Each structure stands twice: as C-alpha cells, then as structure tokens.
Amino acid sequence: MPNIGFPEVLMILVVALVIFGPRKLPELGKSLGAGLREFRRSTQGLKEEFEGAMNEADLKKTVQPAQVQVISAQPQVVTAQQAAAQPAPSAEVAEQPSEVVGHRS
C-alpha cells in the first residue's frame, strides 16, 4: 500500500472543496470525525471483550480444581475379632474413637 504524502492529501482536499463547496466541507469533516471516533470505540470494546475472554480461558486452563478429602465424623466400628487381631497402638499415635460390636460383658 503506497504512502500518502502531503501533496496527495492537498490534492484530495482541493478536489473535495471543488466537489462539495466551502459550506458543505466542514459538515463533512465533522461527520467523518464522528464516524471514526465511533468506529474506534466499537473496535476497542470488541478488543477488550476478546482479551477478557482469552484471559478467562487461560485462567480456567491453569487453575486446577481443589482436591477435597472428606473425613467421616462417625466413630469407627470394630468387631471383637478385629480388635484382637490388631496390634496395640503406640503412645505416639492418637487413638480414634471405636465401638466394639458383638462383645458381651
């Protein structure tokens, strides 16, 4: 695409002045400027929306769901045979509450 220099811009302005006249030329300039501003605003809004969507997609790729470990609040039920087969817990290990099922006193 060729560059437009000062002589080319001057020639375009002279042709526009001849075609539209001195009264209509300022109105055309204002409407052209307003159209360019509106175009920039709309393209900027689309650009921001696109970048936001891309950032959101990148975050979804990088953030892994948290692993949740569910701990039961119910006491552990142990039969008399299982209790006899298990070794006695050491003093360092905290005991979990347990119930002995099937044992008659």
Q: Each residue of 70-89: pLDDT tens digit?
A: 565 566 666 767 767 776 65
Question: How far apart, in whole angstroms, are the C-alpha atoms of residue 70 and residue 86?
Answer: 25
Question: How far apart, in whole angstroms, are the C-alpha atoms of residue 41 and residue 13?
Answer: 26
Q: Each residue of 3-59: pLDDT tens digit?
A: 889 999 899 889 988 998 888 988 988 999 999 999 999 999 999 999 988 888 877
pLDDT score recorded for residue 39: 94
Cβ atoms of 75 and 98 within 8 Å: the answer is yes
Residue 95 has pLDDT above 60, yes or no: no
Type of residue found at 92: E
Cβ atoms of 94 and 74 within 8 Å: the answer is no
Q: CA 84, 90, 93, 97 torsion: positive or negative? A: positive
Look at 34 and 97; give whichever has higher pLDDT. Answer: 34
